[in-house]
Amino acid sequence: MSARSRAGIAGVAGAVLAFGLAELAHGLSGSIPSVFVSLAQQVIERTPGELVTRGIELLGTADIPVLVACMIVGALVVAAILGNLAVRSPALAIAGVIILAGIAVAAALAEPFVDAAPTVLIIVGALAIGAVITEMLLRTAGLRSSKPVEPAGGDGGTPGMPPTMDVRSREAYAEGGMSVGRRSFLMFGGSALVAGLVALGLGRFLSAGGAAAAAAPKRLKIPAEPKKGETGEGGGLKQAVEHQTLPKPDPEASLDVPGMPDVITPASSFYLIDAAFTSPRVDVNSWKLSIKGAVDNPVQFSYKDLMEMPTRESDITLSCVSNPVGGGLVSNGRWTGVLLSDVLAEAGVTRDKISRASRQLVGRSVDGWTSGFETKLALDGREALVAFGLNGSELPIKHGYPVRLVVPGIYGYVSATKWLSEIELTNWNFDAYWIQRTWSKEGPIKTQSRIDTVGDGENLSAGTVPIGGVAWVPHRSISKVEVSTDGGSSWNEARLASQLSEDTWRQYVYDWDAKPGDYTLQVRATDGEGQTQTAETAPPHPSGASGYHTIDVSVA
C-alpha cells in the first residue's frame, strides 16, 4: 500500500469518526442538527435556482439521493486529501480542518431551533477527535516522526517528499511500501472506521426513531365551546364560537374501481414537497403566528388562540407545480383550521382595504421559506385556511405541524406555507422562495386529469375495462371528463362521482368495451365554467405542466 493511500485512509478514518460522532450527538439531542443534513441544505440553498430546477427536471425525485451520494464522495475525497496534506504540511492540514469546522458550524447554526453552544462544541470536538485519530494513524503508518529529521540531503530524497519524515518513513514513502506497523495501522484504522460507522448508524437510527414516533400525529382536539354565559378571560362574556365539522364523505364521491385513488388521501400517502431536508420541530407552546407588514393592527396568535376562534373543516385538493402530466404530486385532504380571512380581519385587513402596499400575502415558515400570492385571493370568499388539522388529526410534522396555509386553486409553492410563523402583507415586488428560483410569480392550478386504473404499457384482456382516475382544478370544480381510446380522435364522456367540494378533485370512470389491438388512451377534463383543459403540452417549469395524460395499452 502506497504512502499516499495510507495517508488517505488515515484522513478518511478520522473524517468518518468525526461525522459519526456528530451524527450520534444529533441522534441523542434534537437541538443539535445533523451536520450532514445542514451541509446538504446549504448546498441546495446556495445552488442557483436555474440549476436546481434543471436538476429536478433531469433527476426527478432522484435529485436528493444523487446530491447525497455526491456529497459523500466529495467528503471522502476531501478527507483523503487532508490526510495527505497532514503528512506534507501539518499546518496547512490543520488550517483545512479549521475551515471545515467553520463551514460545518455555519451550516448547522443556520438550521432552525438550534442550541448554539452544544452544537459548536460537538462539531469542533468531533473534528478535533477525527484530526487526532488521523494524526495517530499517520504515526502508526510510519509517516510521521516524533522528532523532525534534517531535511533530506542529496542522498536521494524523493521529489515532493515531506521534509518532516524520519529516515524510516522516508524509505517507506519512497518505496511506496509499508515498512512498519502494517498490521497495527490496519487494525487501528479499521477500528476507527468501524467506530465511526457504528456511531453514524446509531445516530441515524435514533433520529429516525424520533421521526417515526412523530409520524403518527395525534387526533385533533379542539377545546369544547364555552357554554353560553361562561365568563371569559377579560371578565366579560365569552362568545360561543362555532366549530364546523363535515359529515362523513358522501359515498357517491368514491367510485368502486380497482386502482382508483382514495377520494381523501390518507396522511401517510399525501404527497410531500420540501425545500428543507428535514422538517422543523416546532414547540407548539412557544409557537406564535404574527400578522405583520402593511396591516392596521399587527397581531400575534398562539396555537390556543387559533383553536378558540371559529374553526371549520374543508376538503381541499393540494397540487404541486412540479407535477408532470399524469404524476402523483397532487392529493386531497380534509383540513381543519381557521379561515385566513378571519385571521386577517383581526389584523384589520379587509377586502376593501387592500392597497399597493398590501397587495401580496407572504407566508413565512419558521425556517425562513416563503410563499406569496395576491392578498385578494384570501378575501374573495374561497375557503383559504390557516390549517392545523389534516383528516381529523393534528398536522403531521412533515406537512407543517403545528400550522400551515392551504389556499384552494393555487399551487403549493405560492401559497401552502408549512410550519407557518408569519403572515406579512407587502407589495408585489417581493419575490418568494421559488419565484427567486425562476418559477412564475402567480400559480393558478391548471385543469388536469389523470388515468389511474390502467397503466402505461399494460396488457389488457378484451372485455369491459374501466378507465378511471381523478380530475381537478381546485376552486373551479370539474363538470365533465372525457376519455379517448384512439389517441384523441374521438371522445367518450366518463361517468363522474360526486364532488366533495368545488375545491377538490373528482373521480371519473369510462367503461371501455376493449377489443384486441393496440390503443392510445387519453383523458381530458372540463371545469365548472365550461373550459376544457388545454391539449397544448408544457413542462412543469415555470408555471405547471399541461397537456392530456396519454398512455399506450395492448388488448389481447
- In the complex, which residues of this chain contact ligand MTE (CB under 6 A)? 270-276, 318, 320, 365, 369, 399, 412-413, 416-419
Minimum distance between the CB of residue 349 and ligand MTE, rounded to whole angstroms?
Answer: 22
Residue 416 interaction partner, one of ligand MTE, Mo ion, none, beta carbon < 5-8 Å per kind: ligand MTE
- 388 touches Mo ion by CB under 5 A: no
Of 122, 133, 192, 320, the residue at the interface with Mo ion (CB under 5 A) is: 320
Residue 272 interaction partner, one of ligand MTE, Mo ion, none, beta carbon < 5-8 Å per kind: ligand MTE
355-385 burial, b for 16+ CB within 10 Å, e for fewer? eeebbbbbbbbbbebbbbbbbebbbeebbbb
- Residue range at the interface with Mo ion (CB under 5 A); choices 47-55, 154-162, 297-305, 317-325: 317-325
Amino acid letter for position 228: K
Residue 345 makes CB contacts below 8 A (sequence gap 6+) with none
Comparing CB distances to Mo ion, the nearer of 141 and 432 is 432
Minimum distance between the CB of residue 263 and ligand MTE, rounded to whole angstroms?
Answer: 17
Minimum distance between the CB of residue 32 and ligand MTE, rounded to whole angstroms?
Answer: 22
The helix/strand count (H/E) of the chain reads as 12, 20
Nearest residue by C-beta to Mo ion? 320
Specify which residues 110 forms β-bridges with: none
**162, 39 in Cβ contact below 8 A?**
no
Residue 512 interaction partner, one of Mo ion, ligand MTE, none, beta carbon < 5-8 Å per kind: none
Minimum distance between the CB of residue 412 and Mo ion, rounded to whole angstroms?
Answer: 4
Comparing CB distances to ligand MTE, the nearer of 271 and 430 is 271
The grid coordinates listed for 330 are 397532487
Q: What size, in residues, is the chain?
A: 556
Residue 419 interaction partner, one of ligand MTE, Mo ion, none, beta carbon < 5-8 Å per kind: ligand MTE
Nearest residue by C-beta to ligand MTE? 412
CA count, 13 A, side-chain hemisphere, 270: 24
Minimum distance between the CB of residue 235 and ligand MTE, rounded to whole angstroms?
Answer: 39
Minimum distance between the CB of residue 531 and Mo ion, rounded to whole angstroms?
Answer: 23
Residue 369 interaction partner, one of ligand MTE, Mo ion, none, beta carbon < 5-8 Å per kind: ligand MTE
Minimum distance between the CB of residue 28 and ligand MTE, rounded to whole angstroms?
Answer: 26
Q: Tell me the C-alpha distance between 413 and 271, whole Å.
A: 14
Minimum distance between the CB of residue 218 and ligand MTE, rounded to whole angstroms?
Answer: 18
Minimum distance between the CB of residue 133 and ligand MTE, rounded to whole angstroms?
Answer: 38
Closest CA to 489 of 519, 463, 455, 530: 519
Closest CA to 540 of 54, 66, 63: 54
How far is residue 481 from each of residues 447, 468, 508, 528, measured CA to CA in Å? 11, 10, 7, 11
- 413 touches Mo ion by CB under 5 A: yes
For the stretch 251-258, contacts whose Cβ atoms lie closer than 8 Å and that sit 24 or more positions apart, written own/partner, are 252/497, 252/498, 253/497, 253/498, 253/499, 253/500, 253/506, 253/507, 254/497, 254/507, 255/468, 255/495, 255/497, 255/507, 255/508, 255/509, 257/453, 257/466, 257/468, 257/509, 258/453, 258/466
Q: Tell me the C-alpha distance between 497 and 253, whole Å.
A: 5
Comparing CB distances to Mo ion, the nearer of 265 and 341 is 265
Comparing CB distances to ligand MTE, the nearer of 189 and 443 is 443
Q: Tell me the C-alpha distance between 490 and 512, whole Å.
A: 13
Comparing CB distances to ligand MTE, the nearer of 111 and 135 is 111
Q: Tell me the C-alpha distance between 510 and 155, whole Å.
A: 88
Minimum distance between the CB of residue 358 and ligand MTE, rounded to whole angstroms?
Answer: 22
DSSP 105-172: HHHHHTSSS--HHHHHHHHHHHHHHHHHHHHHHHHHTT---SSPPPPP-TTTPPTT--TT--HHHHHH
Comparing CB distances to ligand MTE, the nearer of 8 and 400 is 400
Residue 439 interaction partner, one of ligand MTE, Mo ion, none, beta carbon < 5-8 Å per kind: none
Comparing CB distances to ligand MTE, the nearer of 39 and 320 is 320
Closest CA to 135 of 96, 82, 99, 172: 82
Comparing CB distances to Mo ion, the nearer of 280 and 544 is 544
Minimum distance between the CB of residue 63 and Mo ion, rounded to whole angstroms?
Answer: 14
Comparing CB distances to ligand MTE, the nearer of 23 and 394 is 394
Residue 270 interaction partner, one of ligand MTE, Mo ion, none, beta carbon < 5-8 Å per kind: ligand MTE
Comparing CB distances to ligand MTE, the nearer of 43 and 149 is 43
Per-residue x/- track, 260-289, Mo ion (CB under 5 A): -------------x----------------
Chain positions contacting Mo ion, by CB under 5 A: 273, 320, 412-413
